[in-house]
Amino acid sequence: MTAGTAREGLDRSVPQAVRVAMEAIDGLKGQDLLALDVRDVNDATDFFVIATGTSDAHVRGIANAVIEALRQTGQRPHHVEGLTVGTWVLLDYVDLVIHLFHPETRAFYQLERLWSDAPELEFSSTS
């Protein structure tokens, strides 16, 4: 059985951790919020959440809100990068990796284009 065949039966619903992270980002007015299911195109993680803050301080604030929201569900990040600078914060929860960008940094790295083969998950704002 190939990896692609094994993954065909995976549940495609949005996992709780992804929903919690997206709600925290949306609650602090993160922009261009996007969640990708990368299970079929990446062996390192299952989901990416990508969003933009309006400034370095906004990016840091969003990151801290996500960390706190996920902590309340019993999850702690395996690894955090960029929190002190705020141009690109990476929150690694192993099965979920969250990328929070300053606008210019997001435009430069274009992760959406890099992972364009991954399906986008639906998210409806509660605000």
The CATH class given to the 14-114 domain equals alpha beta
- β pairing state of 96-101 and 47-52: parallel
The encoded tokens of residue 38 equal 């990368």
Q: Within 13 Å and on the Cβ side, how many CA atoms surround 124?
A: 1
Residue whose C-alpha is closest to residue 126's, from 8, 42, 33: 33
6 pLDDT higher than 60 = no
Considering the chain, what is the average pLDDT of its residues? 88
Please report, in angstroms and rounded to a whole number, the separation of the first and last CA atoms in the chain: 44
Of the two residues 114 and 30, the one the predictor is more confident about is 30
What is the C-alpha to C-alpha distance for residues 36 and 119, in angstroms, rounded to an integer?
6
4 pLDDT higher than 70 = no
pTM: 0.86
Residues 25, 32 contacting (CB under 8 angstroms): no
The encoded tokens of residue 14 equal 């949005």
73 pLDDT higher than 60 = yes
Q: Indicate the domain borders of the chain.
A: 14-114
In the prediction, which pLDDT does 13 show? 74
Q: Residue 2's pLDDT band (boundaries 50, 70, 90)?
A: very low
Please name the amino acid found at residue 100. Answer: L
Q: Residue 127's pLDDT band (boundaries 50, 70, 90)?
A: low
Tell me: the pLDDT tens digits for 81-121? 999 999 999 999 999 999 999 999 999 999 989 888 899 88
Of the two residues 34 and 12, the one the predictor is more confident about is 34
